[in-house]
Amino acid sequence: AQSVTQLDSHVSVSEGTPVLLRCNYSSSYSPSLFWYVQHPNKGLQLLLKYTSAATLVKGINGFEAEFKKSETSFHLTKPSAHMSDAAEYFCVVSPNAGGTSYGKLTFGQGTILTVHP
Amino acid sequence: DSGVTQTPKHLITATGQRVTLRCSPRSGDLSVYWYQQSLDQGLQFLIQYYNGEERAKGNILERFSAQQFPDLHSELNLSSLELGDSALYFCASSVGLATYNEQFFGPGTRLTVL
């Protein structure tokens, strides 16, 4: 079984300040982990993914995330927020096992990021 | 633009009715996934097809069914609709079966059941 907990439902930052969106996961298998972003009235877009290679993963638009197995965490960070970063962010886990787990993603509840001028 | 198309964008119907949502995956992608996004349940995986065959099932109700056709487009059929089925339905596609493949999401179909 697998689950994802996004620790904050809303995060508010000022433009130019750092962003931290927190995610903890639980998985019976060595997981793949993803962060997706959803802008209003749009589909989801992949920001970055971890698949058991480097633990620090760099994504698009200056975002990065660090996989910490001991803490079962996969927090998303960005050094300097931009107004265009305002969106909803989803932490996602998927098992790396085969069988009936193919392609099955489990989504966190989402974190809405607000960026103030 | 992800390359995944979904039709229609909006659908308004009544309880008890049946609707069909359509998805065309990105060129070259063999896997298609369906997701439901609602305020109370969040984003939930419904079902995955790969090259015409069902490969994984999530929280899909028995009133819902899907299929993937030889040209790889997919349809999600929702029947005996209830008010609680109102949601945004996303389709996604990826090149292969594996869980680490990036999934590309369509813009969604917003279903309203009155």
Q: Note whether B57 contacts A: Cβ–Cβ < 8 A.
A: yes
* Mean pLDDT score, B35-57: 92
Q: Note whether B90 contacts A: Cβ–Cβ < 8 A.
A: yes
Q: Which two tokens stand for residue B60?
A: 């899909």
Q: What is the pLDDT of residues A23-75, one digit of tens each?
A: 999 887 778 899 999 998 788 999 999 887 788 999 999 999 999 989 999 99
Q: Which of B43, B56, B102 sits opposite A46 (nearest CB)?
A: B102
Question: What span, in angstroms and rounded, lies between the C-alpha atoms of A7 and B82?
Answer: 32
Question: What span, in angstroms and rounded, lies between the C-alpha atoms of A69 and A71?
Answer: 5
* Mean pLDDT score, B38-55: 92
Cβ atoms within 10 Å, residue B7: 13
Q: Note whether B49 contacts A: Cβ–Cβ < 8 A.
A: no
Nearest Cα of chain B lies from the Cα of A99 at a distance, in angstroms, of 9
* Mean pLDDT score, B65-83: 97
Contact between A99 and A48 under an 8 Å Cβ cutoff? The reply is no
Q: What is the pLDDT of residues B21-40, one digit of tens each?
A: 999 999 999 999 999 999 88
Chain B residue numbers with beta carbons less than 8 Å from the beta carbon of A104 are 45, 48, 56, 58, 99
Q: Per mean pLDDT, which range of A30-39, B2-11, B24-33, B61-70 is the poorest?
A: A30-39
* Mean pLDDT score, B55-62: 90
